[in-house]
Chain A
Amino acid sequence: MTSPRKRAAATVALFAAGALALSACASGGGGGGAAAPSGAAAPTPTQDTQAVSKITVGTAQDSTGPAAPEPGATKGGTVNMIDRDDFSHLDPARVYLNYNSSASKLFTRQLTEFKTAPDGSLKLVGDLATDPGSTDDNGKTWKFVLKDGIKWQDGSAITSADVKHSFERLFASFTPEGPPYAEQWLLPEGEKYTGPYEGKHLDTIEAVDDKTIVFHLNSAHTDFNFTVAMTGFGIVPEKHDTKEKYDKMPYSSGPYKIVSHVTDKSLDLERNEFWDPATDPIRNAYPDKWHMEFGVQSLQSTDRFIADNGTDKNTMTFHNPVAPERLQQVVNDPELMKRTVRGLTPFTTFFNINTSRIKDVKVRQAIIKAFPMQQERQLQGGEIGYGKYATTIMSPTVLGYEPFDLYGKLAKPQGDPEAAKQLLTEAGQPNPTIVYAYNQTPVQEKVAVAIKTGLEKAGFKVVTKPLNSTTYYDAIGHVDNPYDLYWGGWAADWPTGYTALAPTYDGRQIADQAPNYSHLNVPEINDAIDKAAAITDPVEAGKAWAAVDRQIMEQAPIVPEAYQTYFGLYGSGLGGVKFDIVTGEQSPTDVYVKQ
């Protein structure tokens, strides 16, 4: 693989397929991670990864700055950040990936944001807004009032007109990659809108005065204030909106501004002197500068953090996890463990059961019962390298999460073939044939063998069907696909049940390439989703979503696999490096250089 480029086209095409497989792995697509270190038991965490189910909506008082100080933190210095990939987008309207959000926190602000308490619990607070927003009609109209003293990097005030412009430009043709909720919820039925650049504006976004912005949604969305906490709804100044070019050099509303950005190489930030910490309840912004470098693989960053030399002492990563090859070394070294960041990401992985092919719920339940969860997770990287056993659809990072284990998987993670046989007998299908489709990577080849072996112990006849990594999602995304079981994953866009469950299990949203990969369509569940979505009280809504979760799992449309974990290192010269529960990676907001 050193230099295989000389034979041009054919080689490149073949190579493309291989490399794309790697990229799919890296993003978790089709079962991602590398296998756990061979010859060694999966490392055991020294403390259990924190489950977060306590998510509350804060008050106006909670929304005031400055952020809670880090004990012992001092201002100044430069923090380095190394990662494998550059940020694919910096224009907030085009940001959807968590990885991009981590950097954006430093120069982009939204109406609301999540504030993390020392115990790891989350609170939704106003970021630009004085509070997390209010609704008087059960979520159809939302009002936000902007804080005093919030400014752009040129010192001009951030106004509600900027917020209106930021939401209107989400409709422009050059911003299709971001979250689609504004386009879906803010457009009056039957109307078309292509952005504010030709002088047309949306009446559904009302800038009442310089400080007050009101959103008139086309249907009730009781957690809209959670929605607008996404980086995708960050603000962009009308005066400095360079449209397509904004992605290269966004204008700062946060504590830092971009000094230079060389694509795929580096990003340098320095202080935005007009950012007022008194307006910001989330960002401490201790370092004077940030220097970010890209193209550093996980193994390289892990080795650099372990060696901890020179400027690497003041270096962290947002995304690069500890490389599987070094997992055992890190876990066994108490000194290194002091410099680790761990936690549950919002990402839950599972195996979809195609309910339009396997219609008998007892057969689906038998698959779950027989499924060799333990064996296949070990192949994926174990608890630290991959994730904690999942038994629900909602992750512990979602508001209202309730732990339950309908199929006794935690007691028998290796599978319970006898119980599965019993279910198959009751279904009158003692030896059903199922087609397991998988992403053809080296790890997934092994996983396929483990799954086939596990399910066949219960009497299933398993046909394995390897799929090309580049076309995996296209293949399983067809409603009439010929497969019965296939891997998938989902992360809630914001930590409420709506975005964790509605897109993936609302039967009215089944379509080619839509995320309801199991094709579950149960009218009672669809109704329950509607009812839960209409509850305005977050705590009550959380309970309702947990009930929907249980209701869905009773129908066995998926085999839950893992609540994905993050495990990363950072340099010894830094303090305040924490895990961000919302993005599932290391947070930049409280980091400081030790003096």
Chain B
Amino acid sequence: MYRFLIRRILGAVVILLIISAVTFFLFFAIPRDPARLACGKLCTPESLEIVRHNMGIDEPVFLQYWHWLTAIFTGRDFTYGHCDAPCLGYSFVNQEPIFNAIVDRFPTTLSLTIGAAVVFLFFGVGAGMVAAARQGRALDKIASSASLLGASMQIYFVGVLATWILVDQTQILQRPTYHDFTANPVAWASGLLLPWLVLSIIFTANYTRMTRSSMVEQLSEDYVRTARAKGMSTRTVFLRFAWRGSMGPIVTIFGVDLGVLLGGAIITEQTFSLHGIGELSIKAVENQDLPMLLGVVLVSATAIVLFNIVVDAVYAFIDPRVRLN
């Protein structure tokens, strides 16, 4: 187990290094100048040079990357302030260390992700199991049709519509906003309820369909038939054997989804004006804010890599046939 974890974590570090380098050099491969965006409309060549120097982009790209990399461990001084280690860079647009910005935004994204995950996992897997248990019957058809409908929805459509009906017109729910969980858990939950529900509509559909197909497949496996032949109850066969066996693909996709959501649910955050990692990434792209862009890419990549390691570890517990070494 330890060997597995160490090997995977080392691999993850290499992957993150590669991702950061590729992002860095691709950013500079696009022929445009972020300094021009920051310099005023009557930008003189002298002003442009000053802005470039202030932003630290007047150095060779390799040197810039090296400085960025070393600052993670040593911290760094910038024209507009100091950045403590772990320094992921300094945003010249937001005028703050990247790490601080990410730490400030992460609770919103984490809350959005956890709440939505609980909802879509509960309803998605539940509906999928019911559909598999009632294969070919009315409940199965209803669950399958509903999931098809949900899967075809888009957040920017459902979100705007749900806000209009539930907030603007009927005022049943409050306008989505983030409150600190530790300060007021009720306000935290009620402020995020609508985004959770909307995000869940899309994800629940996928989990319903996946759980159903996986369960149906497992129910036709030899070992399930053997269990039935041995006289085990339908409930035991269904929950202890088929369900457990079907969880592999569900856990895999759940790990990836969690990682992706923690990297920023861009459209969800934009739709509900939530100030999370996704919104931060959009702004970074709009403002050609390379340090911020690198920061959010790394957070996103770290989340995905981390959850993939977790998923691989969880496999061993779900399915005894899987050995970590």
Query: Chain A: residues with CB nearer than 8 A to chain B?
Result: 1-6, 8-10, 12-13, 15-17, 19-20, 22-23, 88, 96, 173-174, 176-180, 244-245, 247-248, 262-265, 293, 295-297, 299-300, 303-304, 306-307, 309-310, 468, 470-471, 473-474, 503, 513, 515
CB proximity of B19 to chain A, nearest CB, Å:
4
Across chains A and B, which 5 residue pairs bring their CB atoms closest together, nearest first?
Answer: A307-B168, A9-B22, A23-B286, A19-B285, A176-B47
Question: Are A474 and B30 within 8 A (Cβ)?
Answer: no
- Interface bin, chain B: 35 or more
Min Cβ gap B273→A in Å is 5
Candidate in A307, A468, A515 with the most chain B CB atoms within 10 angstroms = A307
* Cα–Cα, bound, A471→B34 (Å): 10
Known A174-B80, A177-B38; judge A10-B279 contact (CB<8 A): no
Confirm or deny: B144 has a beta carbon within 8 angstroms of a beta carbon on chain A: no
* A248 neighbours in B (Cβ, 8 Å): 95
| Majority-rule SS of B interface residues | helix
Min CB gap A68→B, angstroms:
33
In the complex, whether B265 has a CB less than 8 A from a CB of chain A is yes
Q: Is the CB of A304 within 8 A of B283?
A: no
Give every chain A residue within 8 A of B171 (Cβ-Cβ): 309-310
- The answer on a CB contact under 8 Å between A20 and B288 is yes
Q: List 28 A-B contacts (CB under 8 A).
A: A3-B261, A3-B263, A3-B267, A5-B296, A5-B297, A8-B23, A8-B297, A10-B26, A12-B285, A13-B26, A13-B27, A16-B30, A16-B285, A96-B41, A176-B50, A177-B47, A179-B42, A263-B94, A263-B95, A263-B96, A265-B275, A297-B273, A300-B273, A307-B167, A309-B167, A470-B32, A471-B31, A503-B42
A399: min CB distance to chain B, Å: 20
A244 touching B288, Cβ below 8 Å? no
Q: What's the minimum C-beta distance from B240 to chain A, rounded to whole angstroms?
A: 34
Give 1 or 0 for each of B74-94: 1 = CB within 8 Å of chain A CB. Answer: 000001110000000000011
Query: Using Cβ atoms and an 8 Å threshold, which residues of chain A touch B217?
Result: none
Decide if B304 is an interface residue (CB 8 Å cutoff): yes
B264 near A180 (CB under 8 angstroms)? Answer: no
Chain A CB within 8 A of B281 CB: yes
Complex interface: chain A residues within 8 A of B23 (CB): 8-9, 12-13
Known contacts A179-B42, A264-B275, A264-B283; is A303 also within 8 Å of B265 by CB? no
Partner of A17, one of B30, B36, B297: B30
- Cα distance, A193 to B96, chains bound together (Å): 28
Q: Which of A244, A247, A295, A304 has the most CB of B within 10 A?
A: A295
Contacts of A293 in B (CB 8 A): 273
Q: How far apart sit A366 and B271, CA to CA, in the bound complex (Å)?
A: 46
Determine the residue in chain A with the shortest Cβ distance to B50: A176
Q: Is the CB of A296 within 8 A of B297?
A: no
Docked-complex contact A8 and B41, CB < 8 angstroms? no
In contact, B101 and A263 (Cβ under 8 angstroms) = yes
Mark contacts of B217-236 with chain A using CB atoms, 8 A cut-off: 1 yes-contact digit, 0 otherwise.
00000000000000000000
A297-B50 in contact (CB<8A): no
Known A-B contacts A263-B101, A265-B275, A309-B168; the reply to A6 vs B300 at CB < 8 A is yes
